[in-house]
Amino acid sequence: MWKRLIVAAVILTVIFGGVIGFKLYKQAMIRDYLANMGLPSVPLNATVADSLTWDHRLAAIGSLRAQAGVDIRSEVGGVIRRVHVGSRDAVQEGDLLVELDDAIEQATLKGARARLVKVQRDFQRDQSLFERGLISEDQFDGSRSEFESAAALVEQTEATIDKKALQAPFSGTVGIHNLAEGHYLEAGDIVVTLQALDKLYLDLNLSEKELENLSPGQRVIFRVPSHGEREFEGTIRFVDVVVQTTTRNVLVRAEVDNSHGLLLPGMFASATIVLDEARDVVVLPREAVAFSLYGETVFVLEPADDPDASSDWVARRQAVTTGEVRGDLIEVIGLEAGQIVARDTQHRLLEGTPVEIHNPEVLERLPGERGRESN
């Protein structure tokens, strides 16, 4: 009995030991295979870091405003008799915009002029009598006072009539309005908006520490959201004489030619001010830089050290700092000109990943022996 139990136990031990030993052997073989297999190569396009000379620029944001722009208000109340302009009409200085009904003022003016004629005649008669000593000075002063009062009433009525004919104070474009004959305007109501659009101002706010770099005549390049990547230009005309105490910024005003009519007052602008100083920078295409919460990185491509590697190149992660962006290029600090960098598929790369360069012609741009070896 005991012998059979012992034999059974030995047999079970051999069986289970064999199974466990086989699994351990299998895992060891898999580890060896994976260790020897290496990482698969990743196909990608490469680029070479370029060294360029860029003029020094300052970034700024601002908004456009008209050199001459006003809300024309009615100085007197009245009913609109006639509207002479439509929305977005171009007008010249002195053009009639809106007429208010002035029938009452015209009647008042007629009576005031008739009275002026009478008191003027009386004044001239009394003046002659006073010079001959036939009337007292008080009588003459009263006659003169009535004459001056009548003349003032005529001038006042004429001025009121003039104010009921609203004219353009300068040449420009009329804004959208809802005016119509018969509408009543109170004194102080906005009648129309008038903007001179041929030339605009671009107002920019820059830190006071940049004051020493700013001067009239510098070129400004800017973009507005409504025109995408299109660039517009202006010239700095004024640098303010005070620094804003709340923001410690200084106002810079540039003049912009808007003869094409593409820009409007109030537009937001993203601008750069071109300074005189030039500097050397290392640049890459923007897509060659990977941005993440941990910083900015590029994958530098280096020749593989292992002759048995699956590819001639491997990727090495390198932290960089980015600077100014111009078009498709971005300034990269921490990289040397001539280094080969992965231009795409950064999300598939790890430190030491073998890569295959699909655009080998980029290697011809390498300096010295490296460029000749690539041919």
Q: Would you say 53 and 262 are in contact if contact means Cβ atoms under 8 Å apart?
A: no
Q: Does the pLDDT value for residue 371 go beyond 50? A: no
* CATH code of the region 70-194: 2.40.50.100
Q: Does the pLDDT value for residue 284 go beyond 70? A: yes
Class of domain 42-54+281-374: mainly beta
Q: How far apart are the first and last CA of the chain?
A: 84
Rounded mean pLDDT, 149-160: 92
Q: Would you say 264 and 64 are in contact if contact means Cβ atoms under 8 Å apart?
A: yes
Q: Does the pLDDT value for residue 306 go beyond 90? A: no
The residues near 141 (Cβ < 8 Å, ≥ 6 apart) are none
pLDDT at 29: 62
Q: Which residue has the higher pLDDT, 9 or 120?
A: 120
pLDDT at 370: 46
Q: pLDDT tens for residues 7-50? A: 666 666 666 666 676 676 666 665 654 455 456 778 888 899 99
Instruction: Give domain 58-67+196-278's CATH architecture.
Output: Beta Barrel (2.40)
Q: Is the pTM of the predicted complex or chain greater than 0.85? A: no
pLDDT band for position 255 (50/70/90)? very high
224 DSSP 8-state letter = -
pLDDT at 143: 87
**Average pLDDT of every residue of the chain:** 84
Amino acid at 212: E
Residue 323 CA from chain centroid, whole number = 19
Domain with CATH 2.40.30.170 in the chain: 58-67+196-278
Q: pLDDT tens for residues 173-207? A: 999 998 899 999 999 999 999 999 999 999 999 98
Per the structure block, which two tokens stand in for 375?
A: 């041919």
Q: Which residue has the higher pLDDT, 371 or 20?
A: 20
Instruction: Report the DSSP beta bridge partners of residue 329.
Output: 285, 326
Q: Does the pLDDT value for residue 312 go beyond 90? A: no
